[in-house]
Structure 1
């Protein structure tokens, strides 16, 4: 397993795990088989041109886009137990963590990852219990002919998703606490972030030394560092094709959140001005 730390904005980052070839189990677990089967069925429904299948897929894809990118990132990290099954040395050796050394202080990586690992654990735990506990209550929907019990499958999926994120967060916390991470600044990432930081921050030239660039990032207000086109470049640099979708999702979500915050501040300022004028 190899970890990637991808700064999305000057304040938020995506953590993502990519399995190495030797990490891939020869035999799929029951959960993996069920998940694969469900993915294949979903793919078939995506081919439908109309009807409830098409509507379901359209709705489902929108729902998945709303799932926080932090959850997707944690879900990419396997549980500690499952990783130890495919790699007997896991837990006794360090794991490589690739990151841009001109966008993140290497000394601050442990605290940053600890925050990412722990800040949503209780949320995922409570949501997992609620989703899986509520799913049986949707049994009456199964009586409807032709259409599958969509509420049941949705709640089970969300419960499973929170379970995966919870296990991933605990695994990440374990790696941080045991000091099993080996941070490696990748030159390809540094080159990308030099360009993007210079573009996002007005007074930061592209050739700014790494230490100064990090300081500029930390002292600036929150801004998105990456463009949508960078998602595929990140995937190429890190040799992780599946990372492109996760990076795109994170860029969109952070961008929308920052725009919403700006609109809220503007509205508050407008209300404040109106009160002063009255």
Structure 2
């Protein structure tokens, strides 16, 4: 299986696992859970295509909620859960993992450390939220008496419980891989080119039409980004939102596009919030300093 470690900024990264479709033998049916998920996805898409009505409004609100789910959770959910059978397949060598990353924008020595952090830092949160969602399910059952409209609160609790379960056990699988050093890390020149093109060009169209960046250009762009961090004091974006589609196309993984776009949007907002809070803190310090100076020198007022 291929993993992708995608730096979004100089301090934040997205882990993504290529989804491999399981081949079913003739006469074999997909697991019940997979069939339920596929049916729910098909229904959601049908509702999105409606021009109006409660189904259309529901999908609009739902998509806004999806954007608020942390990108780290979506990334861990892309990993297969750490079942006993799957861990045995990994330990026996039947299931292997390779992690691609852009070495021009992320040091190879930090890759496993970043992966391990992503694997373990949110496990306690996902475990807690999973059980909270399960606990709310019986409370939401009475909403089923509302005519016509499905029991949305109940289905939402089910969705969040399953989402946290997948993130929790996706993280456990990632932790198992890193603890036993079973991830083969591989620098990707193609990812370097895609990142460089995204930073050199202002739009997706311009990036498509431009020639491929040279290694020299990649090195120059990487140095510029490093300088902008001010000796690692500031978090700097390295991935553009529109570039997600180009990266997804390059690796023939169309479903990766939305994951990258969501992560970039969330990180951009987080960095902007941090800058605003830092500016406010500096202003408060300046005001406090001025008040202290005035108290020491009342004649100066």
Q: Tell me the TM-score normalised to structure 2 length.
A: 0.81
Shift of 1:81: 2.9
Shift of 1:238: 2.0
> 1:235-274 alignment to 2 at 5 Å?
235-274=248-287
| Cα separation, 2, equivalents of 1:142 and 1:175 | 43
- Does structure 1 conserve the Cα–Cα contact (< 8 Å) formed by 2:126 and 2:168? yes
> 1:41-56 alignment to 2 at 5 Å?
41-56=43-58
Q: Are 2:244 and 1:231 equivalent residues in the alignment?
A: yes
Name the SS for the 1:182 alignment partner: strand
- Does structure 2 conserve the Cα–Cα contact (< 8 Å) formed by 1:103 and 1:217? no
Larger deviation, residues 41-50 vs 130-139: 41-50
Shift of 1:157: 0.4
Shift of 1:271: 3.1
Tell me what 1:206 maps to: 217
Shift of 1:159: 0.5
| Cα separation, 1, equivalents of 2:197 and 2:139 | 52
Q: Are 2:19 and 1:16 equivalent residues in the alignment?
A: no
Shift of 1:53: 1.5
Distance verdict in 2 for CA 1:207–1:78, change over 3 Å? closer
- Alpha carbon RMSD of aligned pairs, Å? 2.7
| Cα separation, 2, equivalents of 1:273 and 1:53 | 52
Residue by residue, what CA displacement relative to the aligned partner does 1:14-66 show, whole Å, maximum 9, x if unpaired? 00000346xx2424211111111111111222123223222211110000011
Name the SS for the 1:206 alignment partner: helix
Tell me what 1:170 maps to: 172
> 1:81-92 alignment to 2 at 5 Å?
81=83, 84=86, 89-92=89-92
| Cα separation, 1, equivalents of 2:8 and 2:31 | 33
Q: Which runs of 5+ in 2 are unaligned?
A: 202-215, 292-301
Name the SS for the 1:90 alignment partner: helix
- Does structure 2 conserve the Cα–Cα contact (< 8 Å) formed by 1:104 and 1:214? no
Shift of 1:107: 2.1
Q: Tell me the TM-score normalised to structure 1 length.
A: 0.87
| Cα separation, 2, equivalents of 1:160 and 1:66 | 17
Tell me what 1:59 maps to: 61
Distance verdict in 2 for CA 1:250–1:228, change over 3 Å? same
| Cα separation, 1, equivalents of 2:218 and 2:56 | 50
Shift of 1:215: 6.3
- Number of residue pairs matched? 270
Aligned pair partner of 2:138 in 136, 142, 165: 136
| Cα separation, 2, equivalents of 1:155 and 1:56 | 15
Shift of 1:168: 0.5
Q: Are 2:2 and 1:2 equivalent residues in the alignment?
A: yes
Q: Which runs of 5+ in 1 are unaligned?
A: 200-204
Residue by residue, what CA displacement relative to the aligned partner does 1:191-222 show, whole Å, maximum 9, x if unpaired? 233455679xxxxx835389968965873310
Name the SS for the 1:54 alignment partner: helix
| Cα separation, 1, equivalents of 2:147 and 2:15 | 42
Distance verdict in 2 for CA 1:16–1:83, change over 3 Å? farther
Tell me what 1:202 maps to: none
Structure with greater Cα Rg: 2
Distance verdict in 2 for CA 1:275–1:128, change over 3 Å? same
| Cα separation, 2, equivalents of 1:174 and 1:108 | 18
Tell me what 1:97 maps to: 99
